[in-house]
Structure 1
Amino acid sequence: MKKGVAALFVVVVMAALAHETAAVSCIPTELLPCLAAISSGGAPSAECCSKLKEQQPCFCQYIKNPQYRPYIDTPNAKKVAAACDVTIPTTC
Structure 2
Amino acid sequence: MKGKCLLVSCLLVLLVAVRVEITEAVICNAIELSSCASAITTSTPPSKLCCRKIKEQQPCLCNYLKNPSLKKFVNTPNARRVASTCGTPFPRC
TM-score by length of 1: 0.72
Unaligned 5+ segments in structure 2 are: 1-23
Distance in 1, matches of 2:69 and 2:50, equals 21
Unaligned 5+ segments in structure 1 are: 1-21
RMSD: 1.2
1:36 is displaced (CA, Å) by 0.7
1:51 is displaced (CA, Å) by 0.2
Share of identical aligned residues, percent?
47
What letter corresponds to residue 27 of structure 1 in structure 2? N
Bigger strand share = 1
1:32 is displaced (CA, Å) by 0.8
Q: CA-to-partner distance for each residue in 1:61-85, whole Å, 9 max, x for gaps?
A: 1111122111111010011110000
| Runs of 4 or more above 4 Å deviation | none
Hey, what does 1:48 align to over in structure 2?
Answer: 50
Residues 46-85 of structure 1: matches in 2 within 5 Å?
46-85=48-87
